[in-house]
Amino acid sequence: MKKSRKQTIVFKNAPKIIGNYTIVGQKEGNSNFKNYFDYVLKNDLFGEKTFENAERKMLEHAIWNALDNAHLDSKDLDLLISGDLLNQIISSSFAARQFDVTYLGLYGACSTMAETLAVGSAFIDGNYFSKVACATGSHFSSAERQYRFPLELGNQRPPVSQWTVTGAGCTILGDSGGDKEIVNATFGKVTDFGINDVNNMGAAMAPAAMSTLIAHFEDTKTTPEDYDLILTGDLGKLGSEILMDLMENKGYKLKENYKDCGQMIFNNNQKSYQGGSGAGCSAVILNSYVMQKMKEGVYSRVLFAATGALLSTTSSQQGNTIPGICHAVEIRNCADKKEKK
Amino acid sequence: MKKSRKQTIVFKNAPKIIGNYTIVGQKEGNSNFKNYFDYVLKNDLFGEKTFENAERKMLEHAIWNALDNAHLDSKDLDLLISGDLLNQIISSSFAARQFDVTYLGLYGACSTMAETLAVGSAFIDGNYFSKVACATGSHFSSAERQYRFPLELGNQRPPVSQWTVTGAGCTILGDSGGDKEIVNATFGKVTDFGINDVNNMGAAMAPAAMSTLIAHFEDTKTTPEDYDLILTGDLGKLGSEILMDLMENKGYKLKENYKDCGQMIFNNNQKSYQGGSGAGCSAVILNSYVMQKMKEGVYSRVLFAATGALLSTTSSQQGNTIPGICHAVEIRNCADKKEKK
């Protein structure tokens, strides 16, 4: 690997994706992707007393079942990498208690799914571990009351707002097996264009997505046309349009092969305004729909670029703007890898 | 490297420590280590309007000056790895805005300094990057009002409480240069012994420290006697005693070569009860006193095991216990490495 100030690291022994699992809430279970999710909650509390505990339980459920999907036992797991949106990432830390495994907590807001895959891939490619679980999730009700208002207040949602996805996704990475692999990862830089509307995350995150996508294309000497799918995390309808404009100004035209998980997840009857958001949004689309379509051969080269808004209620209340970040991983069907090179 | 379920990863090309810097508050500036810190704040607000902004500014100051100490410019930096105790690690994310560099956000509570060093070392040893900045910090006033009570309330502090250190530390890791290196890292498992007193973090974290220390000794086939210094993060006086008891029950006797940053940082006249705590506690002791003593040859083989309590105010208010974690890195003087083997 050439060492430089490139943001992209290339994996010599590309880590394989050997297991996936997704669990979602009721609303997501009625979305455009209802047939792709593994498990739909009958009740958003998932049998727990609080939404925070339900979020933790979804994460545990996703990790256990992704291991099962990879035909692994938790004893086979070397490392669990996880993060979420709750303060001090308690969903991840408390979920990790259930697994007798080394744990690495990350925080990248809604970019966390890509961040865990990037770090997990490096640990496998670097030959430190052979089986790594990468997981994240979010819950509409726990996020609303932490970041915005208690649901009981019944606040109106502004038109630029997005709907935090209730769901968790887990990817199991291995040093062998599986028909998909992660060939490289592009780490993002924190980008801040001065947006301070906490209801307009898409606008805050779009510049970060642009920064990471361009870094990826330059580092790997590729163009958007080289990918069957370029998938951002949760820019939403407005945010994706902003990204397409920003990219076009930089000479990169994003066409039909560009999609955004937040923009696509809910159907128009679901009153989610700009679409879905949250760490769980890209996690459940990647680990269900994208994996399925890659298996079917519809997609064979995918650039997964999850986006995160790095604010807190305190930073916003103190008048700070909203910095964004975007981490990306390139996923390929092993078979198609060579001919696509 | 042999792949196994070991918690310890060994670095073939041990990353070098090529720069350090510490900045602390007034109270820390009057502590037992006042002569070791690089910069002492005259005012805990550090010229900012809020304590949260002061915490962010300390982190920026530590990173800039650690780069300077390593004779590097931010242009030479490949990756910044950082985390802190504030919700959504805003101090780290907002500090990262100031550096045109890829950023990886981690959360390990007060174990974050060791967590950043472990991950940063893997990225350098794995040959992905050549210069990585690892930083963390904490601020008494921002931590008190986020985790406990507004200072204005003037609540009494219980005898088992610790004092969050106001300070930030940064270590610059490189693939060459420097006279100290990180030879291995032991990732911790989340451990929960059912402690639910948010004022008694030491007791909550001690079992995690025991778990990681024993894993390290077993993985590396060493004993406590092999180290000149075994340094835990912020167990405090009570927590360190609990750890020594727990270790003795497991057949490992921690003697004079065992110290705890929280237990040692403040002198008895500073009314800090069990001692210091916070992500900044172990960060400022490691990057000042420990580095200095290694330079002087007083220590040549150090096991740095930072401890974290993975709670949030929400998890505690909902009646959950406090899980703990401990990540460790072994640091050696390059020269003494062979003879000590």
Name every chain A residue with its beta carbon within 8 A of the beta carbon of B78: 3-5
Question: 3-state SS string over chain A?
Answer: CCCCCCCEEECCCCCEEEEEEEEECHHHHCCCCCCCCCEECCCCCCCCCCHHHHHHHHHHHHHHHHHHHCCCCHHHCCEEEEEECCHHHHHHHHHHCCCCCEEEEECCHHHHHHHHHHHHHHHHHCCCCCEEEEEEEECHHHHHHHHCCCHHHCCCCCCCCCEECCEEEEEEEECCCCCEEEEEEECCECECCCCCCCCCHHHHHHHHHHHHHHHHHHHHCCCHHHCCEEEECCCHHHHHHHHHHHHHHCCCCCCCCEEEHHHHHCCHHHCCCCCEECHHHHHHHHHHHHHHHHHCCCCCEEEEEEEEECCCHHHHHCCCCCCEEEEEEEEEECCCHHHHC
Cα–Cα distance for residue pair B163/B1, rounded to 1 Å: 40
**Based on the number of CB atoms within 10 Å of its own CB, is A324 exposed (0-12), middle (13-18) or buried (19 or more)?**
buried
Residues from chain B that touch A279, judged by Cβ atoms under 8 A, are none
Most A CBs within 10 Å: which of B102, B176, B316, as the mutation test of the A interface? B102
CA distance B30 to B263: 15
pTM of the model: 0.96
Q: Which residue of A has its CA nearest to B7?
A: A102
Q: What pLDDT, on the 0 to 100 scale, is given for residue B336? A: 66
What ipTM does the predicted assembly reach?
0.96
Interface test with A, best of B106, B190, B192 (most A CBs within 10 A): B190
The DSSP result for B191-218, as a single string, is: B------TT-HHHHHHHHHHHHHHHHHH
pLDDT of residue A158: 87
DSSP B176: S
Give, for B219, the enclosing helix (H) or strand (E).
Answer: helix B201-220
Q: For residue A104, which residues of chain B lie inside 8 Å, CB to CB?
A: 106, 115, 119, 187
Measured in angstroms, the CA of B178 and the nearest CA of chain A are apart by: 19
User: Taking CA atoms, what residue in B is nearest to A129?
Assistant: B3
Cβ-Cβ contacts under 8 Å between A and B: the total is: 178
Is A311 within 8 Å of B75 when comparing Cβ atoms? no
Q: What is the pLDDT of residue A44?
A: 95
Q: Which residues of B touch A78 (CB under 8 A)?
A: 3-5
Whole-angstrom distance, CA of residue A240 vs CA of residue B158? 51
Of A75, A106, A323, nearest to B106 by CB-CB distance is A106
Compute φ and ψ for A287, nearest 5 degrees.
-80, 0
- pLDDT tens track of chain B, all 341 residues? 334 479 999 999 999 999 999 999 999 999 999 999 999 999 999 999 999 999 999 999 999 999 999 999 999 999 999 999 999 999 999 999 999 999 999 999 999 999 999 999 999 999 999 999 999 999 999 999 999 888 999 888 888 889 999 999 999 999 999 999 999 999 999 999 998 888 888 999 999 999 999 999 999 999 999 999 999 999 999 999 999 999 999 999 999 999 999 999 999 888 888 999 999 999 999 999 999 999 999 999 999 999 999 999 999 999 999 999 999 999 999 976 554 44
A105, A129, A315: residue with CB nearest B90: A315
pLDDT tens sequence for chain A (341 residues): 334 479 999 999 999 999 999 999 999 999 999 999 999 999 999 999 999 999 999 999 999 999 999 999 999 999 999 999 999 999 999 999 999 999 999 999 999 999 999 999 999 999 999 999 999 999 999 999 999 888 999 888 888 889 999 999 999 999 999 999 999 999 999 999 998 888 888 999 999 999 999 999 999 999 999 999 999 999 999 999 999 999 999 999 999 999 999 999 999 888 888 999 999 999 999 999 999 999 999 999 999 999 999 999 999 999 999 999 999 999 999 976 554 44
pLDDT for the residue numbered B340 = 46
Closest Cβ–Cβ partner in A3, A97, A128 for B1:
A128
- For chain B, the helix, strand and coil percentages under 3-state DSSP, each to the nearest 5: 40, 25, 35
pLDDT of res. B268: 86
In angstroms, the CA A240 to CA A49 distance is 36
- Cα angle, residue A83 at apex, residues B96 and B17 outer, rounded to 5°: 50
Q: From the candidates B107, B144, B148, which should be mutated to test the interface with A, based on the most A CB atoms within 10 A? A: B107
Dist CA A196 CA A198 (whole Å) = 6
Please write the tens of the pLDDT for every residue from A174-210. Answer: 999 999 999 999 999 999 999 888 888 899 999 999 9
Instruction: Note whether A128 contacts B126, CB cutoff 8 Å.
Output: yes
Instruction: Tell me the Ramachandran region of residue A108: left when phi exceeds 0, alpha when psi lies from -120 to 50, beta otherwise.
Output: alpha
Interface contact flag, A3 B129, Cβ < 8 Å: yes
- The Cα-based distances of A9 to A5, A233, B73 in angstroms read 10, 20, 21
Residues of A with CB below 8 A from B189's CB?
Answer: 96, 100-103
As a whole number of angstroms, the distance between CA B63 and CA B99 comes to: 9
Q: Write down the pLDDT at residue B269.
A: 87
The C-alpha of A148 sits at a distance from chain B's nearest C-alpha, in angstroms, of 14
Specify which residues A81 forms β-bridges with: A104, A134
